[in-house]
Amino acid sequence: MRTLAGRYTLEDRVLEGTGWSYWRGEDAILHRAVGVLVLVAGDPREVALVDAARRSAGTDDPRIQRVLDVLDDADETCLIVEWLTGSTALEEALAEGPLRDSESRRLVLELARALAVVSRDGLEHGALAPRWVIRSDAGRVRLLGIAVAPVLTGRSTPDAYGLGELLYACLTARWPGAPDDSTLPAAPLQGGRPVRARMIRAGVPAALDDIAARALGLSGRGAPLLTAADVAAALEAVPATGPALGASEPADHEGIDRPGPVRRGQGRRIAAVAAVLTLVVSAAVMTGLSLVGPSPQAARPGGTGSPAGPSGTSGPTSGPAPGQAALAILSVHDFDPRPKGNGSENPAAVPLAVDGNPATAWTTLTYTRPDCGGLKPGVGLVVDLGLITEVGAVRLGLVGHGTSVEIRAATSLPVKADDAIAVSRADATGAFVTLPLDPPVRARYLVVWLTRLPAIVGGYQGGVSEIQVFHS
């Protein structure tokens, strides 16, 4: 058996993959089980993970998995983490069927509260799914992968939306999100959107069904839930027991197939892989802290946007108020204006920016520099609202980390980038951003204008996965 630093003994290799292996180990000094991740140096995601590490540094909420030690062993980075004994991945639990309604409420409420706390530091999870949630036998909830999960999965979802997906999954044992994020049976779709939870399982409480629908942007009784704090407040208003968790609307099963069986072993494998990915992230976090240290930007990164101030910078905001109503989008088209652009930028993928699925996205071409290769001031999309209306905020899902984006407004065609009025902007954003328009502006056309693109393998490329426009 191999021993690290004369203290940590590697006993059983649990998983392995390209460039890494994960072991159950023993701490010879404290006589306790630990998890040990051995990561080969030079992982191609290192830069993005270190950036995520800066943003997630300092999170010490007890609902987040703790890192115990980090070691350099030859050419490898070895990370020592808590070994979560007596715990089950939510993915595996849901493979057996839905949770009790009261447990669904409690679990998602606990996660929403934790995410509301970390959001005060500009942090979000960004890729919520059952695989990132661990439950102990005592009922304790642990969340894995804060801020860095999108780097590993290549997808990003606002936390309020992800909490809606988790609540939906807990109530139905069906997954309404991207298929690759869960081994649970997919939720049935209607018009490209998941059907309401009550249409899948009879007896889903109306209060919880509405909260899931409001978080997912489905029709629900009440304003959309746009932040983790919104979801927490909505769940707190539902009593933990009693009629609110017993009253439900009639289920409509017409045309809905029942969940098929999921093998327990399959759920365990996904949960184990997710745990290892989280450990990879944690290793990058610790490595990033030791290599680059904290910075003013790390303390409060540009994860959300606000109107540009006198200095041309942008600061964080809590996003649209719960009372703001979403506006219908008539159409969207790519925007690469001549003469510096060629008039077209990946037009076939434009519908993916407004398809209601945060896992799909319109992306730019690949450039040699983050400033669109130095060829033009920006590239993006034009959103047509159908009529001139008052706009109070725009929420975007973005591809990658480090995008700088502006919202520009116009009242008529043809839209020209230089003529459209810049009404809000955010610099070096995370995977999603809310840009308030303060004061609100009247416009029919909005330009989502990407001025700086995040790094990818082989160059720089940006993208937009979702666009939501809100009335003032």
Residue 144 pLDDT level (bands cut at 50, 70, 90):
confident
Whether 264 is in a domain gets the answer no
Least-confidence region, from 134-148, 180-194, 252-266: 252-266
Q: What is the mean pLDDT of residues 202-228?
A: 88
Dist CA 180 CA 61 (whole Å): 28
**Together in a domain, 275 and 397:** no
Please spell the DSSP secondary structure of 101-142, one letter per residue. Answer: HHHHHHHHHHHHHHHHHHHTTT-------GGGEEEETT--EE
Whether 117 is in a domain gets the answer yes
pTM for this structure? 0.52
Dist CA 17 CA 105 (whole Å): 36
**Together in a domain, 45 and 108:** no
Asked if residue 283 has pLDDT above 50, the reply is no
**Which one has a higher pLDDT value, 404 or 251?**
404
Dist CA 424 CA 435 (whole Å): 6
Q: What is the pLDDT of residue 282?
A: 41
Asked if residue 310 has pLDDT above 60, the reply is no
Helical ranges in 12-89 per DSSP H: 46-56
Q: Determine the structural domain holding residue 53 and report its residue range.
A: 2-85+269-292
Q: Label residue 199 exposed, middle or buried (CB < 10 Å: 0-12, 13-18, 19+).
A: buried
> What is each CA distance from 412 to 159, 190, 409, 470, in whole angstroms?
35, 34, 10, 20
The three-class DSSP label of residue 184 is: coil
Report which DSSP code applies to 63.
T
Q: What is the pLDDT of residue 417?
A: 67
First vs last Cα of the chain: how many Å apart? 63
Q: What is the pLDDT of residue 317?
A: 38
Q: What is the mean pLDDT of residues 152-160?
A: 83
Asked if residue 262 has pLDDT above 50, the reply is no
Helix (H) or strand (E) holding 198: none
**Together in a domain, 142 and 191:** yes
> What is each CA distance from 268 to 22, 184, 226, 407, in whole angstroms?
15, 12, 32, 44
Q: How many helices (H) and strands (E) does the chain have?
A: 9, 21
Q: What are phi and psi of 197, to 5 degrees?
A: -60, -35
Least-confidence region, from 145-149, 325-329, 433-437, 454-458: 145-149
For residue 58, the domain's CATH number is: 3.30.200.20
Fill in the amino acid letter for 428: A
Residue 215 pLDDT level (bands cut at 50, 70, 90):
very high
**Together in a domain, 358 and 466:** yes
**Which one has a higher pLDDT value, 204 or 70?**
204
Asked if residue 163 has pLDDT above 80, the reply is yes
Please spell the DSSP secondary structure of 212-246, one letter per residue. Answer: HHHHTTS--SS----SHHHHHHHHHTS-SSSGGGT
Dist CA 299 CA 443 (whole Å): 35
Q: What is the pLDDT of residue 16?
A: 57
Whether 298 is in a domain gets the answer no
**What are the pLDDT digits (tens) for 217-227?**
886 677 889 99
Q: What is the pLDDT of residue 243?
A: 57
Mean pLDDT taken over the chain: 77
Whether 255 is in a domain gets the answer no
> Dihedral (C-alpha) 424, 426, 432, 436: value to the nearest 10 degrees?
-30
Asked if residue 376 has pLDDT above 70, the reply is yes
**Together in a domain, 240 and 275:** no
Whether 261 is in a domain gets the answer no
Peptide bond into 439 cis (omega under 30): yes
Of the ranges 5-9, 262-266, 428-432, the best mean pLDDT one = 5-9
**Together in a domain, 49 and 103:** no
User: Where would I find the beta strands (DSSP E) of 225-330?
Assistant: 326-327
**Together in a domain, 118 and 209:** yes
Taking the mean position of all CA atoms in its chain, how far away is CA 309?
27
Of the ranges 138-147, 232-241, 250-259, the best mean pLDDT one = 232-241
Residue 173 pLDDT level (bands cut at 50, 70, 90):
very high
Residues with Cβ within 8 Å of 222's Cβ and at least 6 positions away in sequence, in order, are 210, 214, 234
Whether 263 is in a domain gets the answer no
Asked if residue 428 has pLDDT above 70, the reply is yes
**Together in a domain, 364 and 278:** no
Asked if residue 63 has pLDDT above 50, the reply is yes
Q: What is the pLDDT of residue 290?
A: 32
The three-class DSSP label of residue 82 is: strand
Strand-strand pairing, 193-194 and 189-190: antiparallel
Q: What is the mean pLDDT of residues 393-409?
A: 91
CB–CB of 431/398 below 8 Å? yes
**Which one has a higher pLDDT value, 201 or 71?**
201
Whether 297 is in a domain gets the answer no
Q: What is the pLDDT of residue 76?
A: 64
Q: What is the pLDDT of residue 139?
A: 77
**Together in a domain, 103 and 235:** yes
Q: What is the pLDDT of residue 260?
A: 37
Residue 74 pLDDT level (bands cut at 50, 70, 90):
low
Residues with Cβ within 8 Å of 233's Cβ and at least 6 positions away in sequence, in order, are none
Residue 142 pLDDT level (bands cut at 50, 70, 90):
confident
**Together in a domain, 225 and 237:** yes
For residue 166, the domain's CATH number is: 1.10.510.10
Q: What is the pLDDT of residue 177?
A: 93
**Together in a domain, 316 and 462:** yes
For residue 405, the domain's CATH number is: 2.60.120.260
Q: What is the mean pLDDT of residues 369-396?
A: 91
**What are the pLDDT digits (tens) for 14-31?**
655 455 566 788 999 998
**Together in a domain, 455 and 357:** yes
Dist CA 53 CA 229 (whole Å): 23
- The percent of residues in the chain predicted with pLDDT above 70, rounded, is 71
The three-class DSSP label of residue 207 is: helix
Whether 229 is in a domain gets the answer yes
State the total domains in the chain: 3
Phi-psi region of 313 (alpha: psi -120 to 50; beta: other; left: phi over 0): beta
Least-confidence region, from 204-213, 267-276, 399-408, 460-469: 267-276
